[in-house]
Amino acid sequence: GNSVTQMEGPVTLSEEAFLTINCTYTATGYPSLFWYVQYPGEGLQLLLKATKADDKGSNKGFEATYRKETTSFHLEKGSVQVSDSAVYFCAVNNTNAGKSTFGDGTTLTVKP
Amino acid sequence: ETGVTQSPTHLIKTRGQQVTLRCSSQSGHNTVSWYQQALGQGPQFIFQYYREEENGRGNFPPRFSGLQFPNYSSELNVNALELDDSALYLCASSFDLFEREQYFGPGTRLTVT
């Protein structure tokens, strides 16, 4: 089956610092890749996605590039804000969205 | 457009009891998936329903069962609750079966004592 390995956290950064959260995956066929964000006490929100190799997903200043050769989908943001503090999940699916496999999440704390 | 809603928000049950969790899909969505998210972990796929039929199941025992109704709302039932069933249960809906995006509800926090 599919699997996702995420960079272990927690990650603590100062405001305006550069963020990278690593994600690698194993999957058969042509998977789609996702980053979700979970704020305290809430469900998951889709942050960005990429559906084929070399696609770049982007949203709210976050970016991730689908790298098939390294089976990676690292999340980056050039300048984080306190409001970005949350748990970030990398996910993969290759049949339908509802059967996604998630990583264990990376907790990001941004300090003023 | 109404998003995915779940009820109740929180629930406390005793080991051995049964529980039913409810989910209303986003308008127009015919596919619902349920996930269990234990503390500090990512969501684990429980099962999926498409047009009232189960369409795949994760590694969960038969005491986890579900239903999808004609209006595409859904229930998750868990019998003979165990302490390890304590988790956040998430429902997610998709417009159709092979849609790549899903939309999550806020979850139901179940505590088993």
Residues shown for chain B: 113
Of A43, A51, A99, which is closest to B106 when you measure between CB atoms?
A43
pLDDT averaged over every residue in chain B: 93
Residue B66 contacts residue B21 (beta carbons within 8 Å) = no
Q: Does B26 touch chain A (CB under 8 A)?
A: no
Mean pLDDT for the stretch of residues B86-107: 90
Kindly list the distances between the CA atom of residue A11 and the CA atoms of A84, A107, A109, B39, in Å, as whole numbers in the listed order.
12, 6, 6, 18
**Each residue of A75-89: b (16+ CB within 10 Å) or e?**
bebeebeeebbbbbb
Residue B47's CB: how many other CB atoms inside 10 A? 21
Of all residues in chain A, the percent with pLDDT exceeding 90 is: 82
Q: Bigger pLDDT: B110 or A1?
A: B110
Query: B45 and A103 in contact by Cβ < 8 A?
Result: no
Q: Bigger pLDDT: B1 or A27?
A: A27
Residue of B nearest to A33 (CA): B100
pLDDT digits (tens, 9 = 90+) for B21-69: 999 998 888 999 999 999 989 999 999 999 999 999 999 999 999 999 9
What is the rounded CA–CA span in Å between residue B93 and residue B23? 9
Residue A20 contacts residue A2 (beta carbons within 8 Å) = no
- Closest-CA distance, B34 to chain A, in angstroms, reads 8
Question: Residue A47: is its pLDDT beyond 90?
Answer: yes
List Cβ neighbours of B31 (8 Å cut-off, separation of 6 or more).
Answer: A96, A98, B25, B48, B49, B50, B55, B93, B94, B95, B96, B97, B99, B102
Residue B76 contacts residue B86 (beta carbons within 8 Å) = no
Of all residues in chain B, the percent with pLDDT exceeding 70 is: 98
Of all residues in chain B, the percent with pLDDT exceeding 90 is: 81
